[in-house]
Amino acid sequence: MRVVGIDPGLTATGYGVVEQTGNRMTPLTWGVIRSNEETLAGRLGEIHLKLRDLITEQKPDLVAVEEIFLAKNPRSALLLGHARGVALLAAGLYGYPVREYPANSVKQAVAGRGGASKKQVEYMVFRLLGLSEQKMLPDASDALAVAICCIMKQGLQPANRGSVRKTNEALLKVLAMQVKK
């Protein structure tokens, strides 16, 4: 199963493609779409075209999109909603099934805790996908997390899920100790 994960944003839209074969998840590609357009319509158009190209090139079984979080600023939530709509359109227009997940569900699936920090989620994305520690933009890491969440929610989680849970618990203990210092 191949999943394109999308972390929508107006200034930076993260994407990540993960393929599940048996009990193994493999990252195929990831990155961030940035727009140089000045107008809202121009930005949305550029995001749509780049997502359309990615989705039609990767031919996923599913496209997973992160839902809007409740922002303190209603204007920010509205603008994020535009970017999300473009992501949904890019998949739906070409007949790819879409799944939507709230941020806390993504964090729960990947890091074992719905209130996990971005750092904890990023750490687990690297662990689950077998990536060595490398520079990755947070939006790309978040998009890979959305794809992983989708795979796990589809009941296709790796056979070693128990060891992932133990790793999550160990990570949370280490991070808790660092916070106390």
Whole-angstrom distance, CA of residue 23 vs CA of residue 101: 22
Closest of 65, 88, 76, 67 to residue 10, by C-alpha: 76
Which residues does the annotation mark as catalytic? Answer: 7, 66, 139
| Strands of 2-90, DSSP E | 2-7, 12-21, 24-34, 62-66
Residues 6+ apart with CB under 8 A from 90: 48, 51, 52, 55, 63
96 touches 63 (CB < 8 A)? yes
154 contact partners, CB below 8 Å, separation of at least 6 = 1, 62
